[in-house]
């Protein structure tokens, strides 16, 4: 991965973190979503939940200070914030299934024009599995998806209809890519913001699914 790709990932994560409000309970998926933790304002009282049994997940530890028994659901080392706690996976998934999460930020392979999410498998390839994605997508009060706008072949990942196996139907509320911020509302896609240096017409050309142009499209700062 080049430095430009790394910068784009952090730009997406920083914008996603702006959706997090003080006092929320939030679950961050693996990949770009985990980077959002670095952009939560320090004065916010936000509880980061991990489905492997942590409430109060903290930042990544300094090199050499990793605790081999403390990791997130993706297996990456983390720390525990003050007041954080451990629980078994049954309790952790119970929190999800009861609808107690204010938000989840997830990566995706595809999102459809109706807000369907495909993020767990590419047929024929080995993957770690579904994890908690199906519960998170259906039960979190708000589902934010972060991903690149185009796949490695230059094709739109925002589809008229998903071509990959679905994680959940009509679950996505907001899509944040390296090109745009798109709201999913009443099974319609509304272009709300564009990432510099792109213009609204660039995003619309690059998106397979039909987009509605908001009357006040903004540029992401």
Residue 58, classified by CB atoms within 10 Å of its CB into exposed (0-12), middle (13-18) or buried (19+), is middle
**Can you tell me the distance from the alpha carbon of 28 to that of 49, in angstroms, rounded to the nearest whole number?**
7
Q: How many residues can be counted in the chain?
A: 221
**Can you tell me the distance from the alpha carbon of 161 to that of 139, in angstroms, rounded to the nearest whole number?**
22
C-alpha dist (Å) from residue 87 to 83, 95, 140? 13, 11, 19
- In angstroms, how far apart are the furthest CA atoms of the chain? 50
Catalytic residues: 51
Neighbouring C-beta atoms of residue 39, cutoff 10 Å: 14
Could you say which DSSP state residue 38 is in? G
**What region does 168 belong to: left with phi over 0, alpha with psi -120 to 50, or beta?**
beta
């Amino acid at each position: 991965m080049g430095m430009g790709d790394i910068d784009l990932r952090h730009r997406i994560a920083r914008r996603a973190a702006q959706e997090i409000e003080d006092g929320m309970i939030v679950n961050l998926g693996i990949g770009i979503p985990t980077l959002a933790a670095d952009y939560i304002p320090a004065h916010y009282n936000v509880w980061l939940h991990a489905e492997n049994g942590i409430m109060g997940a903290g930042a990544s530890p300094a090199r050499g200070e990793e605790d081999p028994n403390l990791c997130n659901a993706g297996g990456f080392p983390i720390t525990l914030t003050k007041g954080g706690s451990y629980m078994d996976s049954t309790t952790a998934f119970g929190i999800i299934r009861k609808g107690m999460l204010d938000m989840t930020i997830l990566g995706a392979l595809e999102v459809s024009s109706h807000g369907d999410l495909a993020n767990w498998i590419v047929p024929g390839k080995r993957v770690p599995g579904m994890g908690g994605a199906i519960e998170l997508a259906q039960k979190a009060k708000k589902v934010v998806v972060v991903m690149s706008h185009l796949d490695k072949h230059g094709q739109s990942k925002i589809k008229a209809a998903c071509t990959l196996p679905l994680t959940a139907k009509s679950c996505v509320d907001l899509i944040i890519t390296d090109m745009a911020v798109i709201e999913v509302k009443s099974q319609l896609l509304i272009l709300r913001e564009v990432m510099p240096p792109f213009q609204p017409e660039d995003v619309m050309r690059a998106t397979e699914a039909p987009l509605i142009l908001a009357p006040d499209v903004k540029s992401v700062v």
